Each structure stands twice: as C-alpha cells, then as structure tokens.
Amino acid sequence: MRAETITPGTITRETIDPVQAPDTIDTDSGDHDRFAHYCKKADIVRALVTGEAITALCGKKWVPSRDPSRYPICPTCVERKAAGWTL
C-alpha cells in the first residue's frame, strides 16, 4: 500500500507494509479441557465461590470445577510462563 502526503512545496511518498495478525489459539474446541492451566490463585478461589469464569495464561476461559492435579499442564501456558508472561 502506498500513501502520498502533499504539503505546500513538498510531496512525500511512503510505503506501508501490512502487519500480520498474531495466530489465535482455539480454546473452544475442547482440547484445552484436557489440561491444567496457569491462573492467579485469587481468581481460582473467587471462581470456585462465585461461579464466575476465569482466564488462564493461554487465553482459555472457563469455570474451574475439577482437580487440576489429574491433568497435564497446558503446553501453551508453560511456554508463555517461561517467556515471562504474567496475568
């Protein structure tokens, strides 16, 4: 895409490159239900008491109701935590 700026006495041309959108993670297909996820402890307690949905480090939104020790840890959560992501 090219853009031209015309001001009195000058004409400037610049090239604008499109930016690729980041890949989104499909958290609705059910694959993320087979993993334990990283979340804030306070959010987990609040969700267990009020029934509100919480968001994991990988972007998964759900209401926790199962024992996470029975499941492997979500690989996306592990990658993001190792990269320094925080909630």
User: Would you kindly state where each structural domain of the chain is located, as residue ranges?
Assistant: 25-87
Q: What is the pTM of this model?
A: 0.61
| pLDDT at res. 49 | 93
Per-residue pLDDT for the chain (87 aa), expressed as one digit of tens each? 555 555 566 666 666 666 766 665 554 555 557 899 999 999 999 999 999 999 999 999 999 888 889 999 999 999 999 999 988
SS3 74: coil
Burial 17-27 (b: 16+ CB within 10 A, else e): eeeeeeeeeeb
